[in-house]
Amino acid sequence: MVNYQIKTPVMLSVSEIKMILKHWAVEEWINFTVAEFNERFCDSEFHLLSDDKFNILCVTRINFDFKIELDNTVYELPELVGLVAMEKMKGYARQLIGHIVHNLSSRAIACIGFCEAELRPFYEKCSVPILYDQAKYLKEKPVSEEFEPNTDDDILDINLPAHLRDLLAGLNAGHTGYILFED
């Protein structure tokens, strides 16, 4: 039996944190202490699939500290990030995406995601609406005035309201939006 759970960082056990960091494989995070993990991801919730023994099968994070600027308006918009299955090709990631879409929809929480072109077939199988090749029109706007291009290709409509979806679909080379970062 597969269990779907949502946990805040402080609800995760030490072994769950280690498992997540191992599979995310982000070099600068791999040796985080529990305190560092909790501080880094304090504005997130973790969506997990686990087996009967509560071993994590698949995990992703909803980042509630994500902002974009479209047409000079700032939108706080949760972002799905870090989707990883501990075993590939078992259907766990697809199953988790289904739970997340249902959960966020039932809670009326808007959510965006991003992917590179090679992951399109996965999200298409999950029936996640995709704004193809639109991510390049969302530029990163760090605190400094240097703008860097987004490395993703597509915007994922995990659970976007129609007006935001329309604004994102309308982005182009002459009409860009920005991902905002704070200190």
Q: What is the pLDDT of residue 8?
A: 98
12: left (phi over 0), alpha (psi -120 to 50) or beta: beta
Total domain count, the chain = 1
pTM across the whole model = 0.92
CATH of the domain at 129: 3.40.630.30
Contact 34, 17 (CB under 8 A): yes
Q: What is the pLDDT of residue 145?
A: 56
Q: Which domain holds residue 96?
A: 3-180
Would you tell me how many other CB atoms lie within 10 Å of the CB of residue 113? 25
- Report DSSP letters for 37-51, one per residue: HHHHTTTEEEEEEE-
What are the tokens at 39? 């501080």
Q: What is the pLDDT of residue 148?
A: 54
Report the chain's mean pLDDT, rounded to a whole number: 94
Low-confidence ranges of the chain (pLDDT < 50): 143
pLDDT in tens, 97-116: 999 999 999 999 999 999 99
Q: What is the pLDDT of residue 50?
A: 97
pLDDT in tens, 141-161: 764 555 555 689 999 999 999
Q: What is the pLDDT of residue 77?
A: 97
Helix (H/G/I), strand (E/B), else coil: 107 = coil
Q: Which residues contact 73 (CB under 8 A, 6 or more apart)?
A: none
> How many CA atoms, within 13 angstroms, populate the side-chain half-sphere of residue 43?
10
Contact 156, 128 (CB under 8 A): yes
CA angle 146, 38, 28 (to 5 degrees): 50
Q: Which residues contact 183 (CB under 8 A, 6 or more apart)?
A: 143
Rounded percentage of the chain residues whose pLDDT exceeds 90:
90
- Phi and psi, residue 35, nearest 5°: -60, -45
Q: What is the pLDDT of residue 151?
A: 81
Q: What is the pLDDT of residue 102?
A: 98
Q: What is the pLDDT of residue 181?
A: 80
Strands of the chain, DSSP E: 3-7, 44-50, 56-63, 67-70, 73-76, 79-85, 111-115, 130-131, 138-141, 154-159, 177-180
